[in-house]
Homo-oligomer: A and B are copies of this chain.
């Protein structure tokens, strides 16, 4: 099914969100100082050429994100923006290779440690779920969406086996994003028999965890992620 991909069409993509992003940029780049008052909704509406409803929704979004505070009868004010609070990774950030490599490097550190912890703390239900995920990945015909989901599931299950909620949270957060980026770049890559390699490496990780060997589990995970990175043309340093 060789179907052309016309996904380049500029989707409307939510007018208020775009305006919120623009105002948000004004704030985080300092053109609107923290504590300073934003223009009135009327003025903003006139400036952007949209109705006040759209401006209101945009400001509501910024308020939810904590970038502005509104006081009835007074106005909207830019708050002290602390980008670290939000811990947001924009999709566009992963476009360039360098950012992706940085994120993957972080993922490496987290998942290697997680594999070691999983080897120590896992329970038998954890192993059963890992086996299920492996079977599901075997079942997936090619490197389809289904396979990607199974791959992601495996890594999440390893993180869950650490019995450390925060490892699970952070690894899920990061793995989802790297997987998304991989998925986006998939078209140009040659990803046919990679599945088998991936599964084999997954099995190695699973076995190391099952034998409660932290060092081996860490090494297996490190090997797997380095392999995955190199398959994407990335080179990560080994420390």
**A173 contacts across to B, CB distance below 8 A:** 84-85, 87
A227 contacts the other chain (CB 8 A): no
Interface size on A, residues (CB 8 A): 40
A99 vs B168: C-alpha distance when bound (angstroms): 13
Of A61, A85, A164, most B-chain CB atoms within 10 Å: A164
A169 vs B116: C-alpha distance when bound (angstroms): 24
A113 contacts the other chain (CB 8 A): yes
Q: Which residue of the partner chain B has the closest CB to A114?
A: B109
Interface hit among A21-29, A100-108, A123-131, A179-187:
A100-108
- Residues facing B in A102-156 (CB within 8 A) are 102-103, 105-106, 109-110, 113-114, 116-117, 120
Chain A to chain B contacts (Cβ below 8 Å), 10 pairs: A16-B60, A60-B60, A61-B64, A64-B65, A87-B173, A89-B166, A106-B110, A106-B167, A109-B113, A214-B239
Chain A interfacial positions (CB closer than 8 Å to B): 16, 53, 56-57, 60-61, 64-65, 83-85, 87, 89, 99, 102-103, 105-106, 109-110, 113-114, 116-117, 120, 164-170, 172-173, 176, 214-215, 218, 237, 239
